[in-house]
Structure 1
Amino acid sequence: MSRIIVTASTRMELSELLVATSASALPGGGHLPLHRADLRGAEIIFALTGLGKVNAASAATLLCERYAPDLMVNTGCGGAFAGSGLTVGDLAVADSECLADEGVQTPTGWRGLDLIGIPVYEGRGERLFNRIPLDLEVARRALDCAMTGGFKAVMGPFLTVSTCSGTARQGEELLRRFPGVCENMEGAAVAQVALMYGIPCLEVRGISNMVEDRDLSRWELKRALGEVQRFLAGHLEQLADKTPGTP
């Protein structure tokens, strides 16, 4: 039986998926709330990680060690950058992730981790600093599935931050550092851990807001999470059929 793990930071980001897949509570996760569902002969494990990179990385490590999944899926909401082609309610699919605010503030401006010269990952002939690659075949398949299903979706680089951009100016600063379509707080951590364990990783987020001067009246969190979970409920069935190990 193949196994797919789906992670999100908050209960809202998984609630509709748990209902759609008839998932039931899975004991043994310790501090990590887990649910399990059977889907087309595959086992789907849903994990509520908590907010931020530390929570996401510790959860992903536990899940990789304990369950050895065939695929990791990270989901939730995100903010879209100006010029990305995304609007509120759209889906964003990551083709790479980036630790976008980890680096060095120098007298001449911000510099990435390559200035320090110590990679966050070194293996398989790669030395990675800020940018974490994701499985492009898995990402393209998700994008195709979304567009075929009538969802508006864009694929591109994601930027993971510890401090969300509450101003347009900060969003512009991040884009000067790295290209990106979507900002979030956990994705690069999950992607990095999955890479370390040699597990393909997919990240799909619903756009709840634009990266601009913070104005909660313009956010549509419920709509964004509804769209991405509706997409994933269908796409997980396709993933279950295609993931190695499924009968």
Structure 2
Amino acid sequence: MPPIAILASTIMELSQLVKAASAVPVELGHLEAYRGSVAGREVLCAVTGIGKANAASATTVLLERKEIELLVNIGCGGAFPGQGLSVGGLAIATSECFADEGVLTPQGWHGLDLIGIPLFEHGGRPVFNAVELPGELASFSLQLARRLGVSAQQGPFLTVSTCSGTSARAAELLAHFPALCENMEGAAVAQMALLYGVPFLEVRGISNLVEDRDLSRWDLKGAVTAAQSFVLELLQSPLPLPHR
């Protein structure tokens, strides 16, 4: 059976999984990567680097060189106020969105549909900003989190190039796209997974709220620990993966 691949932007967001899987370094192009196993499942962990370009490049390297059963993107994220998430909780993506790509006009910002040029096409349909994700995987993950007593929500994610550090920016983003949280890599990984036909799941631990930046209210360590602890439970569960 092909391995389950777990991608994160930094080793901090993978270190707990690497240790639990007794993973050892493996050669995978330019990537920092580790191979191990959890509950008899082979696991391949890789560090993408921060941002969309690094994430897309790393995912492409992985999927060109390895057959993968499931691609999981984990890490931390900033939750938008009023979405039912708090620091330390989990967000599970039902869709991803390239929230920066678009056009700024005198009448305001618009998505790529305004100029009619999609980011890519899939199944004969243009994808402008939002990338839909497999609903069954997200729903299964949410149900598992609730059985474990973990505070979690599922919903749309936004991927941005600039982390939002003001409440005004949070309101601006939400005016264009409904979302639970923001991150800097997920939409790029989701796009590559869709193009290569690999099931994809994204889970983020909430490190902060998207508000006027105040690091004293953040908990990065708690967020990455929550995400990795949950994925370890997920790896030991009967995942609803499609037959390919």
Please report the TM-score for the alignment, with normalisation by the length of structure 2: 0.96
For the Cα contact (< 8 Å) 1:2–1:41, is it kept in 2?
no
Query: What secondary structure does 1:238 align onto?
Result: coil
Count of aligned positions: 243
Q: Hey, what's the Cα distance between the residues in 2 that align with 1:196 and 1:5?
A: 16
Q: Hey, what's the Cα distance between the residues in 2 that align with 1:123 and 1:136?
A: 17
Superimposed CA distance per residue, residues 172-222 of structure 1 (whole angstroms, 9 cap, x where no aligned partner): 000001000010000000000000011111000000000000000110111
What is the deviation of 1:227?
Answer: 1.1
Q: Pairwise mapping of residues 40-79 of structure 1 onto structure 2 (< 5 A)?
A: 40-79=39-78
Q: Hey, what's the Cα distance between the residues in 2 that align with 1:8 and 1:198?
A: 20
Q: Hey, what's the Cα distance between the residues in 2 that align with 1:38 and 1:229?
A: 14
Q: Hey, what's the Cα distance between the residues in 1 that align with 2:3 and 2:44?
A: 8
Superimposed CA distance per residue, residues 48-94 of structure 1 (whole angstroms, 9 cap, x where no aligned partner): 00000000000001111111212110000000001110000000000
Moved more, 48-57 or 16-25: 16-25
Q: Pairwise mapping of residues 19-98 of structure 1 onto structure 2 (< 5 A)?
A: 19-26=19-26, 28-98=27-97
Query: What secondary structure does 1:45 align onto?
Result: strand
Q: Could you tell me which residue of structure 2 aligns to residue 171 of structure 1?
A: 170
Q: Output the amino acid matched with 2:136.
A: E
What is the deviation of 1:169?
Answer: 0.2
- Structure 1 gaps, min length 5: none
Q: Could you tell me which residue of structure 2 aligns to residue 114 of structure 1?
A: 113
Q: Could you tell me which residue of structure 2 aligns to residue 233 of structure 1?
A: 232
Q: Could you tell me which residue of structure 2 aligns to residue 190 of structure 1?
A: 189
Q: Could you tell me which residue of structure 1 aligns to residue 8 of structure 2?
A: 8
Q: Output the amino acid matched with 1:13.
A: E
Query: What secondary structure does 2:207 align onto?
Result: strand
For the Cα contact (< 8 Å) 2:90–2:204, is it kept in 1?
yes
For the Cα contact (< 8 Å) 1:2–1:244, is it kept in 2?
no
In the TM superposition, structure 1's runs of 4+ consecutive aligned residues that sit over 4 Å from their partners are: 241-245
For the Cα contact (< 8 Å) 1:158–1:181, is it kept in 2?
yes
What is the deviation of 1:162?
Answer: 0.2
Q: 1:208 to 1:82 in 2, by over 3 A?
A: same
Q: Hey, what's the Cα distance between the residues in 2 that align with 1:212 and 1:147?
A: 27
Query: What secondary structure does 2:28 align onto?
Result: coil
Tell me the percent identity.
57
Query: What secondary structure does 1:56 align onto?
Result: helix
Query: What secondary structure does 1:59 align onto?
Result: helix
- Structure 2 gaps, min length 5: none
Root mean square deviation of aligned Cα: 1.3
Superimposed CA distance per residue, residues 126-155 of structure 1 (whole angstroms, 9 cap, x where no aligned partner): 211000011110111111111111100000
Q: Hey, what's the Cα distance between the residues in 2 that align with 1:243 and 1:145?
A: 15
Q: Could you tell me which residue of structure 1 aligns to residue 159 of structure 2?
A: 160
Q: Hey, what's the Cα distance between the residues in 1 that align with 2:98 and 2:55?
A: 13
What is the deviation of 1:242?
Answer: 5.2
Q: Hey, what's the Cα distance between the residues in 1 that align with 2:192 and 2:78?
A: 23
Superimposed CA distance per residue, residues 219-240 of structure 1 (whole angstroms, 9 cap, x where no aligned partner): 011111111111111111225x
Query: What secondary structure does 2:169 align onto?
Result: helix
Query: What secondary structure does 2:31 align onto?
Result: coil
Q: Hey, what's the Cα distance between the residues in 1 that align with 2:242 and 2:130?
A: 27
Query: What secondary structure does 1:122 align onto?
Result: strand
Q: Hey, what's the Cα distance between the residues in 1 that align with 2:51 and 2:100?
A: 13
Q: Hey, what's the Cα distance between the residues in 2 that align with 1:69 and 1:237?
A: 17
